[in-house]
Amino acid sequence: MLIPFEQLAAETLTGLIEDFVTRDGTDNGDETPLHTRIERVRRALEKKQAVILFDVESQQCQLCLRNDVPKEWLDDLNQLTMQE
């Protein structure tokens, strides 16, 4: 299930993004400051280049590129955001 990032509290969204950019294997030797990596992800969400995926079974969230998500899920997300 995709979660509109706008529906998350600012603190929750920041925590999710921080978790994502600090996971093992995500830096690949990149020495970019943490706040810069967080802002890059935030901009990708705002530009709809990335989405938040919630796995009901594991109760975990992850960030994905929009191109990696099935079109049907994106259609559902668009309907959710249009209702607001």
Residue range 13-44, pLDDT digits in tens:
999 999 998 886 555 667 888 899 999 999 99
Rounded to whole angstroms, how far apart are CA atoms 63 and 69?
10
Please give the backbone phi and psi of residue 40, each rounded to the nearest 5 degrees, phi first: -60, -45
CATH number at residue 44: 1.10.10.610
Answer whether 77's CB lies under 8 Å from 5's CB.
no
Domain count along the chain = 1
Copy the structure tokens of residue 56: 């009901």
- Predicted TM-score (pTM) of this structure: 0.80
Please give the backbone phi and psi of residue 52, each rounded to the nearest 5 degrees, phi first: -100, 125
pLDDT per residue as tens digits for the range 38-74: 999 999 999 999 999 988 889 988 899 999 988 888 8
Please give the backbone phi and psi of residue 7, each rounded to the nearest 5 degrees, phi first: -85, -10
> Which residue range forms the structural domain that includes residue 79?
2-83
